[in-house]
Amino acid sequence: MHAEWTSARCCPPSAQIARRLDEVLGAGGELADLASLAPDPGPAFDDELGAIEAARRAGATEVGAKVVERLEHAVDTLAMAYPSSPPAKLLSRTGAYLAYATGLLGRKMTLSEHRRLLVTSGWLSLLAATSLIDVRRYEAADAHLQTAMQMAGEAGHPELGAWCLETRAWKALSDGDYARAASLARGAQSLARATLAR
């Protein structure tokens, strides 16, 4: 009985199931109404993001350096998976991390944590853009590239900005726009040199 109650409590019925139960039990819509009022259970704790969220909630601050560090590690893992992962699958994982990371940006944190989180969100947005190009969703890719560039600027991170330009150059090259590709590549090199000079 306890196991059944726990299961029902953790996984409230969908609106469709609630409507069907209403019909079978003759509840006159009351169950469907209750299902629609069910509180948001919050993030699932059976995946990578759930584990990070659990650690964040256990911390003394709203975000914390450890959470930022784990997100930075996730970026590295996703980037290394890029060459061998189906673009749609990688996009799904990257999008989940990006939504989580940007959701933290409005939380209370130190200036250092905020900058690191901006950079992490920028890398995730860039990786999402690359995957979107691979699945030929060019407008969405461009939006994510713009976001990554903005985050690079706000964080003062020329390396991220250089990779954004490199991605635009790669797209222009694949489109056959060689002059634009060369111009973007030169811009990327200029930003890369700024990174080395720091």
Taking only the tens of pLDDT, the chain with its 198 residues reads 333 333 333 444 556 666 666 565 666 776 566 655 554 444 444 467 777 776 666 565 667 888 899 999 999 999 999 999 999 999 999 999 999 898 888 888 888 999 999 999 999 999 999 999 999 999 999 999 999 999 999 999 999 999 999 989 888 888 888 888 888 788 888 877 766 656
Q: Considering the domain boundaries, does residue 108 fall inside one?
A: yes
Burial class (CB in 10 A: 0-12, 13-18, 19+), 150: middle
Query: For 69-95, b where at least 16 C-beta lie within 10 A, e where not — what string?
Result: ebbbebbeebbeeeeebebeebbebbb
Q: What's the pLDDT score for residue 60?
A: 52
- Shared domain for 89 and 184, answered yes or no, is yes
Q: Considering the domain boundaries, does residue 100 fall inside one?
A: yes
- Shared domain for 54 and 31, answered yes or no, is no
pTM of this prediction exceeds 0.85:
no
d(CA 117, CA 71): 8
- Shared domain for 14 and 103, answered yes or no, is no
Q: Considering the domain boundaries, does residue 149 fall inside one?
A: yes
- Shared domain for 70 and 28, answered yes or no, is no
Q: What's the pLDDT score for residue 1?
A: 36
Q: How many domains does the chain fold into?
A: 2
197 membership: H or E segment, kind and range: helix 178-197
- Shared domain for 107 and 79, answered yes or no, is yes
Q: What's the pLDDT score for residue 171?
A: 86
Question: Token digits for 106?
Answer: 């409005």
Q: What's the pLDDT score for residue 43?
A: 47
Residue 12 belongs to domain spanning? 2-36
Q: Where are the alpha helices (DSSP H) in 2-134?
A: 2-10, 15-25, 30-36, 48-58, 65-81, 87-104, 111-134
Contacts of 119 (CB under 8 A, 6+ apart): 151, 152, 155, 157, 160
Q: Considering the domain boundaries, does residue 11 fall inside one?
A: yes
